[in-house]
């Protein structure tokens, strides 16, 4: 099977104009099949402040009410996505901007209300992804660039975790490609000590993960990435790597730097 890189960029890199340009230059240089998934950074929060839309968070997760879903659709699917696509075009990378609603690629369901009502937040329906159209785009030389938005099939856009979008796409495409899923952010990998950027854990399997959890050595913010990484590995993705956005070329061509997840 052909190789495919599914690469997610987020964190502070999205908020740094210079950092994002540097990353996109490296992304554009990757040869072969590739897909980009981007987060929204803090841009939606800043734009919301200008428009008088207050950002609300519960347990670190954004509550997406009626005003906020319009805001993130404009910012993630419009401003951020199209700026990224335009920059990639300037670098000779023929990108096409997408959301999960385009081509019905990523159907999702509105998260059910339990203790908390997160509003228009989507949980991906993994079994219903329509990735055949992505293969057509890739075969045509196009590079899909996804905003973290899905849809419910009833006309509503849903705000969806970008890490989950990346993992879901990687899994669905693993039946057609040898997929390497790479999560890029501002750290060198999963750190044993969050205050020491050099304390990168090179390899994590399920046994070491449980040990790290029991010893409370993992920063809470990294846990969703790890859960998504193992879900992808379990479902057929060849490799999952979490690493520094600055190491992207190295992580797609040779000796990897960062944290590699294995079964």
Sign of the CA dihedral running 88, 93, 99, 101: positive
Residues paired with residue 191 on neighbouring β-strands, in sequence order: 200
For residues 2 and 10, give the distance between their C-alpha atoms in angstroms, rounded to a whole number.
26
Helix (H, G, I), strand (E, B) or coil at 174: coil
Q: Is 61 annotated as a binding residue?
A: no
Q: Which of 143, 184, 198 is nearest to 28 (CA)?
A: 143
Residues 6+ apart with CB under 8 A from 45: 55
Q: Is 180 annotated as a binding residue?
A: no
Element (H, E) at 241: strand 239-244
Q: Which of 129, 154, 156, 155 is nearest to 146 (CA)?
A: 129
Residues 226, 209 contacting (CB under 8 angstroms):
yes
Residues paired with residue 183 on neighbouring β-strands, in sequence order: 8, 242
Task: Count CB atoms within 10 A of the CB of residue 127.
Answer: 7
Residues 143, 93 contacting (CB under 8 angstroms):
yes
Q: Is 94 annotated as a binding residue?
A: no
Sign of the CA dihedral running 223, 17, 3, 107: positive
Residues paired with residue 144 on neighbouring β-strands, in sequence order: 96
Q: Is 41 annotated as a binding residue?
A: yes
For residues 74 and 42, give the distance between their C-alpha atoms in angstroms, rounded to a whole number.
14
Residue ranges for the known binding site are 40-41, 62, 159
Residue ranges for the known binding site for substrate are 40-41, 62, 159
């Amino acid at each position: 099977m052909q190789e495919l890189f599914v690469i997610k960029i987020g964190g502070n890199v999205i908020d740094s104009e210079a950092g994002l340009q540097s990353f996109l230059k490296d992304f554009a240089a990757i040869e072969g099949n590739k897909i980009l998934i981007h987060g929204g950074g803090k841009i939606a929060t800043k734009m919301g402040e200008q428009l008088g839309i207050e950002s609300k968070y519960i347990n670190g997760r954004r509550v997406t009410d009626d005003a906020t879903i319009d805001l993130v659709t404009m910012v993630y699917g419009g401003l951020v996505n199209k700026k990224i696509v335009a920059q990639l075009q300037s670098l000779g990378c023929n990108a096409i901007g997408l959301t999960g609603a385009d081509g019905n690629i990523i159907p999702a369901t509105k998260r059910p209300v339990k203790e908390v009502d997160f509003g228009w937040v989507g949980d991906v329906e993994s079994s219903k992804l329509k990735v055949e159209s992505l293969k057509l785009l890739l075969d045509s030389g196009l590079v899909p660039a996804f905003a973290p938005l899905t849809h419910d099939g009833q006309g509503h856009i849903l705000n969806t975790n970008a890490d989950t979008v990346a993992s879901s796409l990687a899994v669905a495409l693993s039946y057609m490609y040898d997929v390497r899923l790479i999560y890029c952010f501002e750290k060198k990998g999963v750190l044993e000590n969050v205050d020491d950027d050099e304390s990168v854990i090179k390899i994590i399997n399920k046994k070491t993960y449980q040990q790290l959890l029991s010893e409370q050595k993992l920063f809470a913010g990294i846990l969703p990435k790890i859960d998504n990484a193992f879900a992808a590995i379990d479902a057929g993705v060849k490799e999952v790597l979490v690493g520094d956005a600055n190491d992207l070329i190295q992580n797609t061509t040779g000796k990897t730097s960062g944290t590699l997840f294995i079964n």
